[in-house]
Amino acid sequence: MENDKKQAVVELMKEANKELVDEVKTLKADIELLKAAPAKNTEFLKGSGIEVGRPDYYKGFNFKVQGTDQPDLLPKNDKDRDRVVKEVIDIFSKYSKNPLIQKAAMQEGTSGEGSEYVPEQWFNTVIEKARLVSVALTACRRFPMAGNVLHIPKQGTSVTLTYAAEENASTESEPGSADVDITAKRYGLWGTVSQELLDDAMIDIYSYITRDAVEAAGQKIDNLVFNGDAYAFTGILGGGSTDVTFGASNTATSYTDMVSRNFFDAIYSLAGIRRRGAKWYLPREIMPYVMNLKFGASDSALMSVNPSAIAGYPFEEVEAITGTDATSTDFILFGNLDNYALGVRSMSQGIEVNPWAGTQFKQHQVLFRYFLRMAGAPIFADHFVNLKTL
């Protein structure tokens, strides 16, 4: 038994010695090859402008066989390292069958190579156009309406003084009275918005619609105050003012026939006390013609003394006044809007929302509406004058 153990140990030692002898033979063969191969200094990367080292190596052997450490071929800087890697891939990819090397580098600027992974940014607001400001809401005299109809008392006829001979009585005379009656009517809008849009939109849809509705309401009021309608507003242009016709000798059918005298005729159609605070209100389309007017054929321009005034009085552009060049049309108003009564019964403070209407509820839609109840009329029609074509 003891001899068997000794024999086993001997066999193991022989086997180990055989493996050692084989490794020594292999090492000797490698050394002979190394001795036969000349050393070569090689630059691994050209054209990058980055120093990557030039290691010595022997043909046919890797660094481990040579017994040397692998040199640091890549820079430590991340940006430079990315450049080196890309250049190495570019150099060897055309010789490689590896699809990963042959594939184009990923980049966010090219579809199919990574652009789909980069989200596009949207800012959560809407860049708005310049809004139109309501002239009438700013300048007219407002009257709160507690009911549907508003009566505004105004001065009627004045007393009259007459001659009376000695011992005779004067003629009886009392001042007259009158009023302005206005009846509020409703003007409004409504629409629907899907619940999905409200949930997913990047902006506040309600605020966006509200701003748009308020601007539209202001322009609607301007239109009603200046032009009137058949329901609740008496417009200043036309029935609510006195006409002065455009053109020399009152024969003009186009506002291109205007002369500077027309503006002075309009101004002095009103008594001096009625011109206090008066302005010109006109469409922007007619402004180039007004600015081209002169006092005479060779005189200075009508607005040369004060570019912000026409014949000495300030002016304001009103989009609601028509700019169409037509016959028998009022174009320019002169007067003080404080002499116009704007009755306000009620007005939406913002968009009103109702998410529970029958059909819309089933369709996941939300109703919204905006409205105003108003009326208006000139307090004194003879406090306004407008220029008009024949």
What tens digit of pLDDT does each residue of 211-254 get? 888 889 999 999 999 999 999 999 999 777 888 888 766 677 88
pLDDT of residue 117: 66
Q: What share of the chain is helix, strand, coil (3-state, %, to 5)?
A: 35, 25, 45
> What are 349's two structure tokens?
């403070």
- The answer on pLDDT for 53 being more than 50 is no
Q: Amino acid identity of 168?
A: N
CA 97 to chain centre: 54
- Phi first, then psi, for residue 130 (nearest 5°) are -65, 125
> Would you place residue 25 in the very low, low, confident or very high pLDDT band (cuts 50, 70, 90)?
confident
pLDDT of residue 208: 85
Would you put residue 71 in left (φ > 0), alpha (ψ -120 to 50) or beta?
beta
pLDDT of residue 186: 96
Average pLDDT over residues 331-351: 92
Average pLDDT over residues 58-74: 48
Average pLDDT over residues 349-372: 87
pLDDT of residue 130: 66
CA-based R_g, the chain, Å: 47
- Quick one: fold of 135-161+178-388? Major capsid protein gp5 fold (3.30.2400)
Average pLDDT over residues 149-158: 92
Establish how many alpha carbons lie within 13 A of residue 149's alpha carbon, considering only the half-sphere containing its beta carbon: 4
pLDDT of residue 143: 94
> What are 13's two structure tokens?
């030692």
Average pLDDT over residues 186-209: 89
pLDDT of residue 42: 43
Residue 113 DSSP label: T
pLDDT of residue 343: 95
Domain ranges (residues) in the chain:
17-117, 135-161+178-388
pLDDT of residue 85: 67
179 Cβ contact partners less than 8 Å away, ≥ 6 residues apart: 151, 152, 153, 154
> What are 100's two structure tokens?
């990963």
pLDDT of residue 299: 81
> Would you place residue 45 in the very low, low, confident or very high pLDDT band (cuts 50, 70, 90)?
very low
pLDDT of residue 56: 46
- The answer on pLDDT for 303 being more than 70 is yes
Write out pLDDT tens, residues 137-147.
999 999 999 99
pLDDT of residue 336: 96
> Would you place residue 63 in the very low, low, confident or very high pLDDT band (cuts 50, 70, 90)?
very low
Reported as type and span, the H/E element at residue 42 is none
Average pLDDT of every residue of the chain:
81
